[in-house]
Amino acid sequence: MRDDRKMTDMPAALSQAIAGMRLRFIDTIEEKILHLEAALADLRSGNDPIEAARKIEMASHSLAGLAPSLGFADIGAAAVTSEVAWSKALEERDSDPALQAALDAVEALMDRLEAELPE
């Protein structure tokens, strides 16, 4: 015999779990922004710019997967744009337009993250 009580409790429990994950995500937004800013500073200083670009690409990749699953579609979309732009910039290392597009994309991603910061 199936326990219907457990079946009806699952959606509420799942909803509660996702709400908790959303709160933890929001709590880490400032840290994510600081991580991106540090990588940008390394990139601009010339201190291993390839590694800095890879850090930005990976952070963007992580956000592209996580953010939409928690209901932050705008952050996810900005993260996908950033990831793709940084991937292209890494492929086309001598391309100023590719680098500028990547810089613009990560700035847009940080703007979306900042918009979710608690006031």
* pTM of the model as a whole: 0.86
Class of 4-115 in CATH: mainly alpha
In this predicted model, what pLDDT tens digit does every residue of 8-45 receive, in sequence order? 455 888 888 888 999 999 999 999 999 999 999 999 99
Q: What is the pLDDT of residue 9?
A: 55
Q: Who contacts 119 (Cβ-Cβ below 8 Å, separation ≥6)?
A: none
Query: What share of the chain has pLDDT > 90, as a percent?
Result: 77
Q: What is the pLDDT of residue 119?
A: 79
Residue whose token pair is 């779990």: 17
Average pLDDT over residues 71-87: 97
Give exposure, 74-111, as e/b (b: 16+ Cβ within 10 Å).
Answer: ebbbbbbbbbbbbbbbbeeeeeeebbebbbebbebbbe
For the chain, the structural domain boundaries read 4-115
Q: Cα separations (Å) of 12 from 1, 6, 43, 67, 96?
A: 22, 10, 45, 21, 50
Q: What is the pLDDT of residue 14?
A: 84
